Structure 1
Amino acid sequence: MTTTPPQDVITRLTGAFDFHDPEYTPQTAEDINAALREKTPVAYSPAHGGIWVLSRYEHVRAALRDHETFSSGSGVHFPRAAGMPKFSPIDYDPPEHGEIRRLMAPPVDRDAVARLEPAVARLAADLVAPIVRRGHGDFVAELSRPFAIGALALAIGLSERAQREIRELTAAMWRRMAKDGDSSAFWPAYRDLLSGEIERARREPGDSYLSWLVRARIDGEPVSDELLYSVIVSYCVAGHDNTMNTVSRVLWHLAGDPALQRRIKAEPGLAAQVAEETLRRWCPTDRFTRVTARDVTVDGVTIPKGSRVVLLFDAANRDPDMFPDPDAFRPDRDNAHRHLSFGNGLHHCLGARLARAEFGAVLGELARHPEYLLTEEPRLSFENGRHIMFDRVPVRFERTGTTAGKAGD
C-alpha cells in the first residue's frame, strides 16, 4: 500500500535538498525528486556546506558525459568519512581512470561474461529450487542476496569467508560513511577482509581474476596494495548491492503482476525488457555526485568552479521529456534501455554486462516454475541516502501447473 508523503516534507526538501535528511526516504524521494525536476531543475541547497542538484535527463546525462567539467576525482560519495580509500574506477579522472578501468575489465568483459553464464544460471537454479519445493520463501534472504554475492564470487574468485562477510561489512560502511568524522569504526574490518583476500591470492596462485590481479603490473610496476584495496572493495560493494537490490525490486514487481509473469513464460525475450524497465522506473542508486572543475552554465544558471553537484538519477529516469508517462511501468517501452541507472559516458558501469546476465538468469529460472505472489508488503529503506533496498520480499508459489525439473534435465 502506498501513502501520499506529507506536503510540508516535500516543500521543505525541495527548497533545501538534503539526501541525508531523515525525512528523505524512498517514500518521499520520488515526489521530492520530481518536484525539483519540474520546478527547479538546477537547484542550490545549503546542505553539507552547499550543493547543487541536477534532475532533468538532458542535464544529468550531459554532466555524466562531460568528465572534464564534472570531475569524479574528489569522490562521488558525499559526505565521506576520512580515511576511506577511493573506489575504483569511479573516484578517478583520466589518465588514472583509464589505467584502472583496464585493470578491472577482465572479469566482466564480453567473453568472460559469456563463459560465466552457465555457472550463473546453475546458481540461480540452485537457489530457486528449495523455495519452490517449500512453496514459499523470502526472495531477498534466499535469492537476491546470495545470488548477487555468489555470482560476484564466480566472476572474481572470492573466498567463502568474503562471501559470508561482505554484505554486513558493506551495510556497516553505508550506515556510517556519511555520519562519522573518520572511518575507524568500519573501514579496518573491511580492510582486514581485503588483506586476507590479497594474501590468499598471492599464496595460492590460480586462474581467478584475483590471482591475476595481485600479479598484474601498471607501467611495469606491481599494483600497489592501496590500489588493490580500492579495486577489490569496489568489486565487493558495487558488484553485489545494486544487483541484489534490482533483483529484489523486479521480483517484488512481478509478484504483484501474475499476468506479466505469464508473458515472460510465453515470450522469453521479454525478460530483458522487464529488467531494463525496472532499472529505469526504480533506479537502484538514487544519485551520484561530482565536483565542477570550472564554472559551468546549465539551463541559464552558473554553477561555480569547485561546487559539489548531485546528479539525481531517479529524477532523470522519470523525466517525461525522455520517457512519456514515466511513472508507469511499461515492459514494452522502446527506449527503457536509455535509462541512466548504469551511468553514462566515461564512468558507465563496468559490470553492466554481468548484471544483465544475472537478471536474465534469475528471471529465466523463475519462468520455469509456477507463478508466485507477494504475501506481505516489504519495507523499503535507503542505505547511505542512495541505495534503495527491500528488507524482504516474502512470496508463496501457486500450486497449479507442474514445476519444471532441474536445470539441464
Structure 2
Amino acid sequence: MNQSLSVFRETGSACDSPGRPDPVALTRQVGAFDHHAPEFTPDLAHAVHHELQEEQPVARSAAHGGLVLLSRYADVRQALKDHRRFSSGAGVFCPRAPGTPYFAPLEYDPPLHTQYRDLMRPPFTSAAVRALRPELDRLVTELVSPVVAAGGGDLVEAVSVPLPLAALSLAVGFSDDAQRRIRTLTRNTWQRMPKDSHPDGFWPAFAELFDQEIRRAREHPGDDYLSELVRAEFQGRPVTDEELHVMLVAFAIAGHETTMNALSHLMWNLAREPVLHDRLRAEPHLVPHAVEETLRMWPPVDHGSRLTREDAVMSGSVIPAGSRVLLLTGAANHDPRVFDDPCSFRLDRDRPQRHLSFGFGIHFCIGAHLARAELESVLTELLRHSPLRLCGRATRRYENGRHLGFDGLPVRVADTATARRR
C-alpha cells in the first residue's frame, strides 16, 4: 500500500470494493430519489450519488412534492454561494412538519440571517476556541483514558456523544441537565419532523428545555455566553424568548450532532486502519490533514436543501423558480472533477479544506473552528495510546435522511506486538 496516497477505499459501486448495493434499489433511487426511503442506506447513497453525478447532474424526483438534485461539486458550491437565488429562508429540511420553527442562522436569508449570525458567532471564533482548547483537551483525555484502561469499549457512547455536548457547554453555557437531554430530544425530533403533520410531538419538549436554560441564565447569570445572549439586543431592542429559541435549537442540535458523526467516522477509520495510526503517530503534523479528509470522505450532513427564488441554470439545465433543490454534499465531496481518486483517503491532497462539509458562502458552518478542534484533539489523544481495533459490527445509518452516523463503535485495545507486525 502506498502510505503517502491511499489508506482506505470506500464501499460502493464507484470504487473497487467487494461490497455492491442492491441493483434494483440503485435503479429505483436513481430514477425516483427519496432520502427518507428505508432502503436509502449510506452505502446505497454512495452508489446513487455516483450514478447521478455521471449521468444526471441535474436530476429530478417526484418525492416530497418534487425535488431537484445537484450532485456535482461546481453546481453544489455555486448554489451554496448564491444565497439570493438559492434561498434558505423556506427551511433546509425536507420534508418537515408544518409549523416547525426555523433554526437560526441557517434557515434565514439576509438581513435576518446576518443579524442572527452576529449574535451567535462570538463563542465560536478562532480566538474563542483557542482559549477553550486546554479545557477541551482535558475533557478528551478524561473520555478516552477509561476506554484504553478497560481494554476497549463503545467509542460512540464513550466519546462521540458526550464530547460535543460537553464542548458545547464550554462554548455556550448549557447546564448539565441540558447536556443529558439534548441528544434524546434531537433523536426524537429527527424521527418525527419528516412525517408528523405538526411539531407538537417534538418541539414543546425542546422549548421547555430552552425556557429552563433562559430562566437560569437570567436569574443566575454567570460568565458564560448564554448569560450574555439572554441580555443581548436584537434589532435595537431586547432579544425575545422566541428569538432565543431559534438560536438555542441550532446551538443544541447542530452544535453536537455534526461533530458527533464526524468523530465517529474519524475513530472508525483509525480503528480499522493500522497503517493510518502508525503514519499519523510518526508524522503528527498530518493530523489536521486526516481531519479534513475525514470530513470530505464522510460529511456528517449528507445534503441540505434550498428553494429557488428565480430561475437558475446548472450544468446546462434550467431549474425553475420555486423548486426545492437538494444539494448533495456527499456526492460533491467525491466529484472526480475536483478530487483525484475521490474514494481514497489521502493525506497529501492539495487544499485539503476544499470539501463542502461545512458549507460555503454566508452559511459556512459557524461552529467549524470548534468542530475541527474537537476532531484534532481526539485524534491526537488516540495516537498517544496503543491502537484501537474494531471488534464488532459498526453500522452506519442516517437520521432524518441526511445525518450520517453510527449506532455504535465497539473497539478493543490492540496487542502492541501484533499491531506492529500488521
| Partners of 2:410 and 2:317 in 1: CA distance | 47
1:388-403 equivalences under 5 Å are 388-400=404-416
Matched, 1:153 2:169: yes
- Which residue number corresponds to residue 51 of structure 2? 35
1:311-330 equivalences under 5 Å are 311-330=327-346
Structure 1 counterpart of 2:388, from 352, 372, 378 = 372
1:134-173 equivalences under 5 Å are 134-173=150-189
- Which residue number corresponds to residue 51 of structure 1? 67
- Which residue number corresponds to residue 213 of structure 1? 229
TM value normalised by structure 1: 0.96
- Which residue number corresponds to residue 303 of structure 2? 287
SS of the residue 1:269 aligns to? helix
Instruction: Name the amino acid aligned to 1:259.
Output: V
Structure 1 counterpart of 2:294, from 275, 278, 284 = 278
| Partners of 2:293 and 2:383 in 1: CA distance | 18
Contact 1:205 1:211 in 2 (8 A): yes
Instruction: Name the amino acid aligned to 1:347.
Output: H
Aligned-pair identity (%): 50
SS of the residue 1:10 aligns to? helix
| Partners of 1:321 and 1:100 in 2: CA distance | 36
| Partners of 1:219 and 1:283 in 2: CA distance | 35
Query: After superposition, what is the alpha-carbon deviation per residue over 1:173-203, rounded to whole angstroms, capped at 9, x for unaligned?
Result: 0011101111111111111111111111111
Instruction: Name the amino acid aligned to 1:61.
Output: R
| Partners of 1:22 and 1:373 in 2: CA distance | 30
Structure 2 counterpart of 1:133, from 132, 149, 168 = 149
1:331-342 equivalences under 5 Å are 331-342=347-358
Could you tell me how far 1:33 is from its partner in structure 2? 1.1
- Which residue number corresponds to residue 20 of structure 1? 36
Query: After superposition, what is the alpha-carbon deviation per residue over 1:336-392, rounded to whole angstroms, capped at 9, x for unaligned?
Result: 310000000110000001100111110111111111111112111110000011111
| Partners of 1:339 and 1:375 in 2: CA distance | 31
Matched, 1:298 2:314: yes
| Partners of 1:398 and 1:14 in 2: CA distance | 41
SS of the residue 1:237 aligns to? helix
| Partners of 1:328 and 1:259 in 2: CA distance | 14
Matched, 1:108 2:124: yes
| Partners of 2:42 and 2:225 in 1: CA distance | 36
Structure 1 segments (4+ residues) deviating >2 Å: 398-401
Query: After superposition, what is the alpha-carbon deviation per residue over 1:307-361, rounded to whole angstroms, capped at 9, x for unaligned?
Result: 1000000000000000011111112222331000000011000000110011111
Could you tell me how far 1:399 is from its partner in structure 2? 4.4
Query: After superposition, what is the alpha-carbon deviation per residue over 1:271-327, rounded to whole angstroms, capped at 9, x for unaligned?
Result: 111110011111111100000010111122111111100000000000000001111
**Contiguous gaps of at least 5 residues in structure 2:** 1-10, 12-17, 418-422
Contact 1:56 1:319 in 2 (8 A): yes
Contact 1:252 1:393 in 2 (8 A): yes
Query: After superposition, what is the alpha-carbon deviation per residue over 1:219-253, rounded to whole angstroms, capped at 9, x for unaligned?
Result: 32011111100000100000000101111101000
Contact 1:323 1:335 in 2 (8 A): no
- Which residue number corresponds to residue 14 of structure 2? none
Structure 1 counterpart of 2:115, from 84, 99, 116 = 99
| Partners of 1:69 and 1:93 in 2: CA distance | 11
Could you tell me how far 1:398 is from its partner in structure 2? 2.5
Structure 2 counterpart of 1:348, from 354, 357, 364 = 364
Matched, 1:360 2:376: yes
**Contiguous gaps of at least 5 residues in structure 1:** 402-409
Instruction: Name the amino acid aligned to 2:202.
Output: F
| Partners of 2:368 and 2:211 in 1: CA distance | 27
| Partners of 2:394 and 2:126 in 1: CA distance | 35
| Partners of 1:126 and 1:138 in 2: CA distance | 15
Instruction: Name the amino acid aligned to 1:142.
Output: A
Could you tell me how far 1:70 is from its partner in structure 2? 0.2
| Partners of 2:390 and 2:309 in 1: CA distance | 48
Could you tell me how far 1:15 is from its partner in structure 2? 1.1
Structure 2 counterpart of 1:245, from 239, 261, 269 = 261
Instruction: Name the amino acid aligned to 1:275.
Output: V
Aligned length: 401
Aligned-pair Cα RMSD in Å: 1.1
Query: After superposition, what is the alpha-carbon deviation per residue over 1:61-108, rounded to whole angstroms, capped at 9, x for unaligned?
Result: 000000010000000111111221110100000111111100001100
| Partners of 1:110 and 1:299 in 2: CA distance | 36
SS of the residue 1:240 aligns to? helix
